[in-house]
Each structure stands twice: as C-alpha cells, then as structure tokens.
Amino acid sequence: MSTIVLQNIDKYYGNNHVLKNLNLTIEDGEFMTLLGPSGCGKTTTLRVISGLEKPQNGKLYMDGELMVNAKELYFAPPSKRMLNLVFQSYALWPHMTVFQNVAFGLSIKKVPKEEIKTRVENALRRMQILEYQDRYPSELSGGQQQRVAIARAIVTEPRVLLLDEPLSNLDAKLRIDMRSELKRLHQELGTTVIYVTHDQIEALTMSTRVAIFFEGQLAQVDTPLNVYQNPADLRVAEFIGNPSINFVSAKGRLEDNVLHITSDVGDFTFGSEHFTENEFPRQGEFDCVLGIRPEQIYLRSSPWHDSREAVVYASQPAGSETLVQIQMGGTRLLVKQVGTRNYQTNQTVYATILENMVTVYNKATGKLIKMAVELDLEAVEMEATRSSSSMS
C-alpha cells in the first residue's frame, strides 16, 4: 500500500513562493503525472515527496504514516519512505557494469548474493536489457541507459517510484518506445508511480490521473480523458492539446435553466445536465468563450444538414493528417483531419462542429461552465467516414 497525501504544503526558495498551499492525494497503485510548464512547481513537489526538499508548511502522509510535519520540524529521511527516484540524467556509475549498477542498492542492504543475482536479472529482463548486463554505461545508447536507471529503481521493490522527466533526453522514437515500456511496467508491478513532465503527450498516454500545475498551484487533477475533454479553465484548455484548442468569443444567456449561445460559428443550446458547479451569470447576456478541439470539426465540399459555410485560409498536409485553417464569419478555426486532404486557398467548404463536445467558459472568471458530453465513438467514426466520402 502506498497512498500519499500532501496537506497544505508551502515551499519557498528565499522570497520565491514555489508551492502554494498544495493539497494532493495520490492513491495506491496510481500512475500520477505532475504536468505543467517550466517553473510551475512539479519537480519541487516530487522532491518534497522524496525527502530531498523540506517544505516550510504542511504535512505529508504515506499510508497514514506521518512523514513530514513542517510545523514540528519533523522530516522523515528518504530511506524511511520506501521509494526510488529516477533522474533525467540517469546518474549511472560509469566504472560499474550494468549488473553492478542495478545491484548497487541491494548490495548496500547486504542482500544475499544469490538473491541479488535473481532480482537483478529479473529487473533487467523486465526492461529487455539482460543481454547488456556486462557492458558499461558508455557502451550503451541513451535509451538503454534509461532502461538501466529504471531497472535499478525497481529492483529494490519500492512502494513508490518517482520519475523526474526521464525521457526528455531521448529522441522521438525512443520516447514513444519508452512510454510503452513504462506503461507496461506499471501495469505489471502495480507500484505507485509519480511522474514529472512538461510533455502533455506523455501525461495523456501513460497516466491514470494528471495533476496540472501553474505557478505553484494545482489547476486540475483528473483522468487524462477528462483533462482533455473538459479542461477546468482557459489556462488548462490552452495548455492541453496539440494542435491547440480553438477559442471562440461568444455571448451566453440563461433562460429557464437552458444556456443559449450565439457566436460566429453557430448558435447552440445546452441543457442543465451539461453544466458544471461553477457559477455563471443568471441574469441577462454575458461574455463567454467556446472551446472547440480541431478534430471536432468536420469539413465537406458540399452543404450538409448541420453545416455552415466557411472559406479555406490555409491548408497544411502532413501525411498522416491535414491541418486546415478556415474562416467562418469573423472567426478563424483550425481543423484537424486524418489522412491527406487537398484544399485550395479561398475554397468554399462546409464545416460541421460536434455540438456536444463544445466546452463553454465564463470569460470573466475563465472557469468551465458547460462540459463536453461523452459521445458514441462509433457514431463519430461514421460521421468522419461520411465526411471523407463527401470530399472524395
């Protein structure tokens, strides 16, 4: 068991308030990713959990056991916390072989030699590098060195595995391969994993939950799917997604618990079952912002029953996908389509927006007030197929 609870954590470096009243619970067996831009506090959070940093305020519990009580100046040493940390730089001993690097922690604990051999070989086998056990780090590629660092971390069977941007030094193909390995490893071991990254793709593809930080504060903690479909505020919506979400200025009006939206890209009506708990003006018209993901817009060459006319501003074929900028009224939208499409500048097209997937934000507060609704994925695929057929 390895549930971690951070309560009211404050961390300062001089006058710089890095973590601001942080409250976060990481459940046993989770793959929790701490995500955010540089300097947002995610690595500091990891270091507080590991015991490498001491907060000025707050408490930290692991499985109900108090590890940090800043008020009482109690800080349990890292060795008591049953965790291992994998650094961005790998931190392998250059004069030791792969086997010796992985076995080092077990040797320090005076584990019997036969058990060390069994556990080290098992860890290397899990990371698919057993055949490199007699090599030195300098004889390995970056991806292989990273696997050694992870094998060294898991061989001691820690309750918690902390990973601080471990893939940032790898090339694009290796990063994809290592994401798969880490996700598979988590599922096999069931260890609680806390992973720090600024790469949203890593967060969305590997995590069970994602904690998004801005300026030392949590903006949202949720599943990857819900973080993507229903960002809690405009900052999260802008940060998550590649290509970026479309923001559309609009007007909202609430009548009889129904939200009426008017905008350049269409008029929409949403019932209260779509509303969040965030407050929005109950009287009169108010300014709001629509969030529309590029893949939630379909283009056709001829009118469709729910489409609106638009003009192609620019088209960017990229092999597996095509990015198209369209002009609809006074608003420019980015559209993402699977496969190669041929559009000409100033070509007239007809755009259909998946209405249920539109999110609505109160412009005054930036908070989400209308959520996206789970769609029937088969229906979406059929819609995309119809769209593709009409373009051919």
Residue 130: pLDDT above 60? yes
Taking only the tens place, the pLDDT of each residue in 197-215 is 999 999 999 999 999 999 9
Distance (Å, rounded) from C-alpha 334 to C-alpha 5?
41
Mean pLDDT of 30-35: 97
| pLDDT range class, residue 389, cuts 50, 70, 90 | low
Tokens of residue 42, six digits: 């995610």
Per-residue pLDDT band for 379 (boundaries 50, 70, 90) equals low
Q: Does position 283 have pLDDT exceeding 80, yes or no?
A: no
Give per-residue pLDDT as tens, 93-129: 999 999 999 999 899 889 999 999 999 999 999 888 9
Q: Is 333 left (phi over 0), alpha (psi -120 to 50) or beta?
A: beta
- Which range of 17-21, 77-81, 109-113 scores highest in mean pLDDT? It is 17-21
pLDDT for 319 beyond 90: no
How does the average pLDDT of the chain come out, rounded? Answer: 90
Task: Please tell me the distance from the alpha carbon of residue 256 to that of residue 390, in angstroms, as a whole number.
Answer: 39
Q: At what angle do helices 142-154 and 172-189 cross, to 10 degrees?
A: 20
- Which superfamily does CATH assign the domain made up of 4-237 to? P-loop containing nucleotide triphosphate hydrolases (3.40.50.300)
11: helix, coil or strand?
strand
Place 374 in a pLDDT band, splitting at 50, 70 and 90. Answer: low
Q: What is the pLDDT of residue 290?
A: 98
pLDDT, residue 126, reads 86
Listed ranges 19-33, 270-284, 376-390; the one with the highest mean pLDDT: 19-33
Confirm if 89 and 40 have CB atoms less than 8 A apart.
no
* pLDDT at residue number 305: 75
- Classify 243-391 by CATH class: mainly beta
Least confident of 88-92, 156-160, 290-294, 315-319: 88-92
Q: Is 233 helix (H, G, I), strand (E, B) or coil?
A: strand
Whether 386 has a pLDDT exceeding 70, the answer reads no
* Best CA proximity match to 251, nearest among 260, 241, 240: 260
Show me where the domains of the chain are located: 4-237, 243-391
> What is the phi/psi pair of residue 190, to 5°?
70, 15
pLDDT of residue 391: 45
Q: Please, what's the b/e burial string for 58-74 (b: 16 or more CB within 10 A of its CB; e: otherwise)?
A: bbbbbeeeebbebeeee
pLDDT (0 to 100) of residue 69: 97
With a cut of 90, say whether residue 263 has pLDDT above it. Answer: yes
CA distance 231 to 240: 8
* Of residues 134, 127, 45, 142, the one with CA closest to residue 89: 142
Tokens 């949203």 belong to which residue? 200
- What integer pLDDT is reported at residue 156 of this predicted model? 86
